[in-house]
């Protein structure tokens, strides 16, 4: 049970913003929301995580809904190198991560 729901796939044009949605309607108050991405034949790479407030780092932004039942990973300008499978994970104290099938992002030149 991945405990999160993501679209199977999305497409974006190069240099356009990408909004990757994730639903986690059963999230508890102490669960963090984590995002990872996995390029072909590589291990997953940490992207960003947050609890309640929106978060920004050099890779992406994470927008968390006020009720925390959903979140959106934002890539501000997609590049071809951003083509990957993106995983949204909720992780709480004492709970291990469950990686679901994720969203396969294709970036078109």
Partner 1 sequence: SQTIHQWPATLVQPVGSPLSLECTVEGTSNPNLYWYRQAAGRGLQLLFYSVGIGQISSEVPQNLSASRPQDRQFILSSKKLLLSDSGFYLCAWSVRVDQPQHFGDGTRLSIL
**Which residues of this chain interact with partner 1, rule CB under 8 A?**
2, 30-32, 34, 36, 41-46, 49, 87, 91-102
Tokens of 50: 């947050």
CB burial readout 62-86, b (16+ within 10 A) else e: bbbeeebebbbbbbeebeeebbbbb
Nearest approach in angstroms of CB 45 to partner 1 is 7
Nearest approach in angstroms of CB 5 to partner 1 is 13
Nearest approach in angstroms of CB 16 to partner 1 is 27
Instruction: Name the nearest CA neighbour of 99 among 85, 78, 83, 80.
Output: 85
Judged by CB, which is closer to partner 1: 40, or 109?
40
Judged by CB, which is closer to partner 1: 17, or 92?
92
């Amino acid at each position: 049970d991945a405990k999160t729901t993501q679209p199977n796939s999305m497409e974006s044009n190069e240099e356009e913003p990408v909004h990757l949605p994730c639903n986690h309607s059963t999230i508890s108050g102490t669960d963090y929301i984590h995002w990872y991405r996995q390029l072909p034949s590589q291990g997953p790479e940490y992207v960003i995580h947050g609890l309640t407030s929106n978060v920004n780092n050099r890779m992406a932004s994470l927008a968390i809904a006020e009720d925390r039942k959903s979140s959106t990973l934002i890539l501000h300008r997609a590049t071809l190198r951003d083509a990957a499978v993106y995983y949204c994970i909720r992780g709480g104290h004492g709970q291990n991560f469950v990686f679901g099938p994720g969203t396969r992002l294709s970036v078109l030149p």
